[in-house]
Amino acid sequence: MDREITCIECPTGCTVNVAVEDGKAVRVDGFGCRRGRDYAIAEVEHPVRLLTTTVPACGLAVRMVPVRTSRPIPRDMRTQAMEAIRQVRIRRAVKVGDVIIENLLGLGVDVVATREVV
């Protein structure tokens, strides 16, 4: 199977073609530099995404606090991650970058606030 991936590592946006066999990249063409080649291989073999969402707040100035993962997480763990985040309520003032969930699902990634709320 061939996959066509748009590299997002720089504004050039090269179209990288990846031949995939058994979930592995076996041939990569079209990249403008090594960064794009590595990005396309990772996108095929181990895709990751930053997860952004909101967490309900109790007793604060807003009802929802925007949060995101501190680093990208495996794309196929997004549903589990959302389930874990859904269990949380924020009951204290937070600053940007405050950890809301430490070590989400044991991934070594935190969930942090992206807005100050008092």
Interacting residue ranges for ligand SF4, rule: CB under 6 A:
7, 9-10, 12-14, 31-33, 35-36
Minimum distance from residue 45 beta carbon to ligand SF4 (Å): 17
Residues 13 and 75: beta-carbon distance below 8 Å:
no
Minimum distance from residue 42 beta carbon to ligand SF4 (Å): 12
Amino acid, res. 65: V
Q: Which is nearer to ligand SF4, 9 or 84 (CB)?
A: 9
Residues 60 and 90: beta-carbon distance below 8 Å:
yes
Give start and end residues of each alpha helix (H) in the chain: 34-45, 78-86
Amino acid, res. 83: E
Q: Which is nearer to ligand SF4, 12 or 87 (CB)?
A: 12
Minimum distance from residue 14 beta carbon to ligand SF4 (Å): 3
